[in-house]
Amino acid sequence: MDRLDADLIVIGAGVIGLAVARACAQAGRDVIVLEAEDLIASHTSSRNSEVIHAGLYYPKDSLKARFCVEGRRKLYAYLQDHGVEYNNCGKLVVAHPDEEDQLADILDRARENDVEDLKIIPGVEARRLEPALSEDIAAAIHSPVSGIFDSHGYFLALQGELEDAGGMIAFGTPVTEGTRTADSVELITGGETPAKISARTVINCAGHRAIELARLIDADIDLPEPHYVKGSYFSILGKTPFSRLIYPMPGRASLGLHLTVDLAGRGKLGPDAEWLPDDAKPPFNYQVDPARASLFYDSARRYWPGLPDGALTPDYAGVRPKIVEKGAPSGDFMVRKESEHLIHLIGIESPGLTSSLAIADHVAGLLD
């Protein structure tokens, strides 16, 4: 077994791991990213809506609220500076008559979170912006700072900057064991070339496996049980008559079964929220069950009654890491600095993609 000493190890090359590793490498640390898969961003990071979230829904002073708003501003600037394609298309959060009171609550919360340029508009104005909306839509929040972007281009830009700063990614290198010492973290890795690594600092960005790895390193750590919610997407055949993101009222497990139009003009619906069994653990089955289409038709036709029969086809799915049980409000991000040598990032679900640069800067600051 190979043995090596390392300055800083990041576990996981999803978007959070890439962003954190880049920030630390640019701050002068010698960074190695350990990734179990053979490519970057192969799970949660690449299986989402590619939405740039404004920061509407999250409780004041939560990490989600703080990092989403800060991260969104940094993300737009980053995409512009690095030539990564995006569309600042805006979003409508639509409400039926019995939901109008919720719009005011969302607006108040969003303004507390310092989200810019929001307003509630009547249904007639919403239909002027998006004529295909249902006549039953009574009002909407218009969020002009929301958008979509090429997430894969973003991941590659982060990887490139990490490597330009001297960092590297070790693919096919799962962490199988770990322990804390007084002045380091010891890791055992698997794969084709198993190794024992003594790291001055370890940052756990392992996504679905973050809690498992935290307990692997420290069996006595106090953490919630992990839960997982599968979200499926259906693509829309033919031209989609919307230019903005269309969101219904949010639920407890997700922001609702929403409609997006990607950078190529293709429409899609999703994700839904399918809680997996309590004993579920990675690797997950990402296949989309075609039978779930009926749920998608019913939900989407509440705001888009013209959705034709036969227009939906199964596309892809992702799995959100949760730190709360079914029925509970969504939990906050968890950033745990256990010591100067060990930091865990846990429960990084939506809006983690939008928040990634802000999370990375925060974590790099914790190392200082």
pLDDT band at 361 (very low <50, low <70, confident <90, very high): very high
> Do both 164 and 301 map to the same domain?
no
The pLDDT value recorded for residue 352 is 98
In a domain, 62, yes or no: no
In a domain, 68, yes or no: no
Question: Residue 162: phi, psi to the nearest 5?
Answer: -60, -50
In a domain, 16, yes or no: yes
pLDDT exceeds cutoff 60 at 253:
no
pLDDT exceeds cutoff 90 at 195:
yes
CA-CA distance, 303 to 132, in Å (whole number)? 8
Nearest to residue 51, comparing CAs of 251, 232, 245?
A: 245
- Three-state SS for 98? helix
pLDDT exceeds cutoff 80 at 39:
yes
CA-CA distance, 269 to 316, in Å (whole number)? 11
How many CB atoms sit inside 10 A of residue 286's CB?
A: 13
> Do both 232 and 347 map to the same domain?
no
The terminus-to-terminus CA distance of the chain in angstroms comes to: 33
> Do both 240 and 288 map to the same domain?
yes
**Domain containing residue 210: CATH number:** 3.50.50.60
Instruction: Give how many domains the chain has, as a whole number.
Output: 2
For the segment 220-234, the average pLDDT, to the nearest whole number, is 96
pTM, two decimals, is 0.97
- Three-state SS for 195? strand
The pLDDT value recorded for residue 251 is 73
pLDDT band at 2 (very low <50, low <70, confident <90, very high): confident
**Domain containing residue 92: CATH number:** 3.30.9.10
In a domain, 53, yes or no: no
pLDDT band at 124 (very low <50, low <70, confident <90, very high): very high
Could you give the percent of the chain with pLDDT greater than 70? 99
> Do both 312 and 184 map to the same domain?
no
> Do both 177 and 221 map to the same domain?
yes
CA-CA distance, 320 to 54, in Å (whole number)? 19
Averaged confidence pLDDT in the chain: 96
pLDDT of 256-305, one tens digit each? 799 999 999 999 999 999 999 999 999 999 999 999 999 999 999 999 99
> Do both 95 and 129 map to the same domain?
yes
> Do both 120 and 10 map to the same domain?
no
pLDDT band at 254 (very low <50, low <70, confident <90, very high): low
pLDDT exceeds cutoff 90 at 330:
no
CA-CA distance, 263 to 234, in Å (whole number)? 16
> Do both 137 and 156 map to the same domain?
no
DSSP letter at 31 equals: E
For the segment 19-34, the average pLDDT, to the nearest whole number, is 98
> Do both 234 and 306 map to the same domain?
yes
> Do both 214 and 244 map to the same domain?
no
In a domain, 69, yes or no: no
> Do both 174 and 221 map to the same domain?
yes
In a domain, 54, yes or no: no
In sequence order, the β-bridge partners of residue 140 are 94, 121
Segments forming the whole domain that contains residue 313: 88-145+226-322
In a domain, 184, yes or no: yes
Q: Say which residue the tokens 């002009």 belong to.
A: 144
> Do both 25 and 162 map to the same domain?
yes
In a domain, 79, yes or no: no
